[in-house]
Amino acid sequence: MLFNLDNVAFKENVEALYVDKSGFISFLNEGIIKKQNFVCVVRPRRFGKTMTCDMLKAYYSNACDSKEIFDNLEVANSQSYSKFLNRFDVVHLNMNLYDDSDDNSGKIFLRELKADIKESLIEKLDSGMQEQAKKCRTLGSLVRYIDKNCLNKFVFIIDEWDLVFRVFPDNSDLQKSYIKILTTLFKTNFSTTHVALAYMTGILPIKRYSDQSALNNFREITMLNPLGTGKFIGFTEAEVKKLCSEYDIDFDKAKYWYDGYKLDGLDIYNPFAVISVASDKNFLRTWSGTASVEPIAKMISKNYENLREDLALMLSGEKLYFRIQSDSSNSLFNLKSKESIFTCLIYLGYLGYDSEKQQLYVPNEDVRRDLVSAVQKTQVRNKNDIYKVSKKAFEYLLAEDSKNLASSIAYINDNYVPVIGYNSEDALRFVVIYSMLYAQSYYDKPLIELHGGKGYLDLCYLPIEGENSKLPAIIFEFKLNKPVSVAMEHVTEQIKNKHYSQVVDNRVKDVLLVGISYDSKTKEHQCLIEKQIISQDL
């Protein structure tokens, strides 16, 4: 049932829309040779974990002949290619198949998992040995029997290995029993002599779930530490450009929606999302289909060290300095610090991390919209919650109430923004972005210093296409220690000379021009708002 699955699934993938990631096999083969053959790959959902498992089955399984498939792929150029091609007995476990909604205790999970592993191992033994092997009552006694009587080596492929920790987060006895199964397979003499490769996938690292010593022989490949495999985790920019060219896709739009992960110095894209666009020709929210945002909202609602406000800034395009000092062992459901939550969100793909610059950020528009939903779901009863204060500022803006908008910006600057000096217009922009947090649900990520024809527009908000067509575009211009009229003159000149065409595309009927100034001597904010009609057709 689980044993020696063939190459049909991977062959179908290759014959469809496929980007060659077979070079990852060379990395694993090197691990087999160097006895670094226990690997756990941690990727966000929709990052090709199952397709990679299909590829590994097709390559390693001795139940099929995959030479015709792989001869034309990158792995064929490696020295180890022929050495391990279709040479092993493959045991593939997809833990999603054991997720039974009626199994509240996990007893069915354990019973069926043990039975399937034993059945698949016994099936490979010579017929004369199978009857004796069937007398082994436990998995431990079976692997000891195989250790003494079988010369073949196995490749274990376990997809979603950590499902038990997510489905049964409070059942520590079940989790310990599950870990014991894995240690029986991967930390005994059997694993030394009979396991050529153990490959597991999950959404969080092993150390986040269990006593690290239990499976400390596994190398972990994560979004924080890809071990040189970053180009195999998702699509590189070169691969996306090629797909966009072949399938007539707007590359800049694909980059805006699905780029954003920095791995091994490369820009890495969400592969499922890019393939979906190439197939359907629509830029859709693919991230929202991966899982409910409720668990993420619960994390955010804890609001350790103003975590919620930091996330809100990142949702507006800001990058935050964030140094990961440790990788705590908290699970997905027991996060007790701002650092552990941010680290978890990196693993899950909700945040990107530039390890060279030590910067944390929201990777792309697809993820941003999902995170906006999560942040908005967090309930804060305090009447002075930043989102409630920001809502008032947004209402003043739409009502073209310059005086109260200026007062709101001043209030937010004095009470919510970290202490910064108004020594540049960038600092003023930072405060205005904070004041516009509530608008995140209705507008795309703000565009900063956007080229608008002659010169640059300091800050621009465009309503989410198709969802909020009645909302205006918003263009801010900032001036420090200058009259607010100067800011207004600059942004108005852009509109009157129709330089807005590069900025406020066909999706809006009108635009709000907002000039904001700050006088460092009087500590006073001033604001002017003017509406311009740019289309009568919408």
Instruction: State how far the alpha carbon of 406 is from the alpha carbons of 60, 155, 393, 414, 527, in Å.
Output: 66, 65, 9, 12, 6
**For residues 405 and 293, what is the distance between their CA atoms, to the nearest angstrom?**
32
**For residues 282 and 302, what is the distance between their CA atoms, to the nearest angstrom?**
36
| Contact (CB, 8 A) for 409 and 328 | no
| Host H or E run for residue 243 | helix 237-246
One DSSP character per residue, 192-207 reads HHHEEEEEEEESS-GG
| Contact (CB, 8 A) for 464 and 372 | no
In the prediction, which pLDDT does 538 show?
A: 45
Q: Which residue has the tokens 């493959």?
A: 90
Write the secondary structure of 368-412 as one string of H (helix), E (strand) and C (coil): HHHHHHHHHHCCCCCCCCHHHHHHHHHHHHHCCCHHHHHHHHHHH
**For residues 439 and 316, what is the distance between their CA atoms, to the nearest angstrom?**
10
Residue 272 main-chain phi, psi, to 5 deg:
-60, -40
Residue 442 main-chain phi, psi, to 5 deg:
-120, -10
Q: Where are the alpha helices (DSSP H) in 93-171?
A: 107-124, 127-134, 139-149, 163-167
pLDDT along the chain (538 residues), means of 10: 69 93 98 96 91 96 94 96 96 87 81 93 86 92 92 92 88 91 94 96 78 80 94 96 95 93 94 91 73 76 83 88 66 77 91 92 92 76 75 96 95 76 75 90 82 65 78 91 84 63 68 91 91 68
In the prediction, which pLDDT does 241 show?
A: 97
Token pair for 19: 């980007």
Q: Establish how many alpha carbons lie within 13 A of residue 389's alpha carbon, considering only the half-sphere containing its beta carbon.
A: 22
In the prediction, which pLDDT does 413 show?
A: 87
In the prediction, which pLDDT does 1 show?
A: 39
Burial class (CB in 10 A: 0-12, 13-18, 19+), 348: buried
| Host H or E run for residue 273 | helix 271-280
Q: Provide the sign of the torsion angle of the four alpha carbons 270, 296, 41, 7, taken in this order.
A: negative
pLDDT tens sequence across 232-247: 999 999 999 999 999 9
In the prediction, which pLDDT does 502 show?
A: 55
- Beta-sheet strand order (sheet of 447-451): 447-451, 456-461, 473-480, 510-519, 524-533
Q: Give the chain's largest Cα–Cα span.
A: 94
**For residues 325 and 58, what is the distance between their CA atoms, to the nearest angstrom?**
40
Write the secondary structure of 294-305 as one string of H (helix), E (strand) and C (coil): HHHHHHHHCCHH
Domains of the chain: 8-221 (3.40.50), 234-284 (no CATH), 292-377 (no CATH), 386-533 (no CATH)
Query: For helices 307-315 and 338-348, what crossing angle results, to 10°?
Result: 40
Burial class (CB in 10 A: 0-12, 13-18, 19+), 532: middle
**For residues 298 and 317, what is the distance between their CA atoms, to the nearest angstrom?**
23
Using DSSP, state whether 260 is helix, strand or coil: coil
Q: What is the pTM of this model?
A: 0.87
**For residues 394 and 377, what is the distance between their CA atoms, to the nearest angstrom?**
19
Token pair for 72: 């034309």
| Contact (CB, 8 A) for 207 and 165 | no
